[in-house]
Amino acid sequence: MSANRPAWMGKPSPLVKAVKAVALVVVVAVVLFPFWTIVATSIASPQEVVDNGGWVVIPTSLSFHAYTDVFEGGVITHALLISGGITAVGTLLSLVATVFLAYALSRPSIVGGKPVLLAILFTFLFPPAMIPAFLVVQELGLKEDYLSLILPVLVNTFNLVVMRGFFQNVPSELIEAARLDGAGDFRILTRVVMPLSKAVIAVIGLFYAVSYWNSFFTAILYMRSDQWPVQAVLRQYVTQGAALSNTSEVTVVNSPQSTKMAVVVMATIPIIVLYPFVQRFFAKGVLTGAIKSLGKRSQP
């Protein structure tokens, strides 16, 4: 009986298990080593960093002087608050817009749903270039306004398609039963569809949060230097060095390597802390939504 089973369903031998374990350890080490080097360099003394050529793997003496310098300057603290606000507001607005639009496009009776969907998919294939996007933001009066970092990227096409595919496979019997009870579309969405779609909503929310948190190029284009989020300031630190004073202009200085790595750690930790809370929804939300969406397309 076992001979008829596919190879991937058979019980692996001890040698195969050992090889998988070694490969997993190697992959984890390769992923964690760069991050550990950054953390170790950030807590090493500036002299030790210089003596080791700019990078420290195992610091001999701990020093949190780099973090003290960063917090005392005020630039990073201010930038972290800006990034937190943009991420929170942007993620909320993007989720609301994506959920409403995905639900509307998932209903077969919606008027003009297919042309709207094709127009949205067109933007996925041909995204706007930098200069037209800049001119649109400028003409709308959004330059040096934080809305310029949110409104142009409010709805991501990939996220919309995944969520629409998930909504399409909510049992139609539940929706029809709710309609018979007198519920409208808004109540059906909030009371029936969304409670059944917590996994995909959590994953899409994570995608939006990471995107807003890591965005820096549009901030450099549209905002003054004292309005930059943490990723834009981080780029300034790492590539050129930046003054530790919170002024309207970022002055270029020679920041120690340990200070630069401290900024990298502070910009990375929020996402690392957030990810475990939604990790359990990740595979379920993305794979289920994508597979259901492909299944719908394959049907005649």
The residue-averaged pLDDT of 85-100 equals 95
Q: pLDDT band for position 284 (50/70/90)? A: low
**pLDDT confidence tier of residue 257, bands split at 50, 70 and 90:** confident
Q: How many domains does the chain have?
A: 2
Q: What does the pLDDT read at residue 147?
A: 92
The string of pLDDT tens digits covering residues 24-64 is 999 999 988 988 998 998 888 878 888 888 888 888 888 88
Among 63, 88, 113, give the residue marking a domain's end.
Answer: 63
What would the mean pLDDT of 5-33 be, rounded to a whole number? 83
Of 198, 204, 255, which is closest to residue 76 (Cα–Cα)?
Answer: 255
Contacts of 78 (CB under 8 A, 6+ apart): 226, 246
Same domain for 177 and 275, yes or no, is yes
The rounded distance, in Å, linking the Cα atoms of 72 and 252 is: 17
Domain match, 217 and 111 both: yes
Distances (CA, A) of 53 to 47, 56, 140, 173, 283: 10, 8, 49, 66, 41
Looking at the predicted structure, is the pLDDT value of residue 159 above 60?
Answer: yes
Domain shared by 87 and 129, yes or no: yes
- Please report, to the nearest 10 degrees, the dihedral formed by the alpha carbons of residues 167, 170, 175, 177 taken in order: -170
Contact 293, 162 (CB under 8 A): yes
Write the CATH number for 233. Answer: 1.10.3720.10
To which H or E segment does residue 190 belong? Answer: none
Do 59 and 72 have their domain in common? no
Residue scoring higher pLDDT (163 or 4): 163
pLDDT for residue 103: 92
Residues 74 and 193 in one domain: yes
Q: Residue 233 and residue 216: Cα distance in Å, rounded?
A: 8
Residue 132 — very low, low, confident or very high, per pLDDT cuts 50/70/90? confident
Whether residues 98 and 239 fall in one domain: yes
Q: Which residue has the higher pLDDT, 169 or 208?
A: 208
- Same domain for 168 and 151? yes
- Nearest to 149, CA basis, from 74, 224, 76, 98: 224
51-69 residues labelled b (16+ CB within 10 A) or e (exposed): ebeeebeebeeebeebbeb
Same domain for 25 and 151 = no
In sequence order, what are the residues at sequence separation of 6 or more whose Cβ sits closer than 8 angstroms to the Cβ of residue 229? 79, 82, 83, 86, 149, 215, 216, 219
pLDDT greater than 50 at residue 246:
no
Q: Indicate whether 156 and 143 sit together in one domain.
A: yes
- Look at 109 and 149; give whichever has higher pLDDT: 149
Fill in the DSSP letter of residue 244: S
Q: Is the pLDDT of residue 140 over 60?
A: yes
HEC letters along 22-80: HHHHHHHHHHHHHHHHHHHHHCECHHHHHHCCCCCCCCCCECCHHHHHHHHHCHHHHHH
- Does residue 33 sit in the same domain as residue 89? no
CA 239 to the chain's CA centroid: 23
Domain end (from 20, 46, 63): 63
Residue 117 has pLDDT above 90, yes or no: no
pTM of whole model > 0.75? yes
- Which pair of structure tokens corresponds to residue 176? 């029809």
Please tell me the least confidently modeled range out of 45-54, 136-145, 281-290: 281-290
Res 22: pLDDT: 94
Same domain as 59, residue 36:
yes
Of the residues 11, 30, 63, which one is the last residue of a structural domain? 63
Per-residue pLDDT at 243: 45
Tell me the mean pLDDT in the region 176-201: 86
Q: Identify the H or E element spanning 180.
A: helix 172-180
Q: Which domain holds residue 200?
A: 66-298
Given a cut of 80, whether residue 72 has pLDDT beyond it is no
Residues 15 and 156 in one domain: no
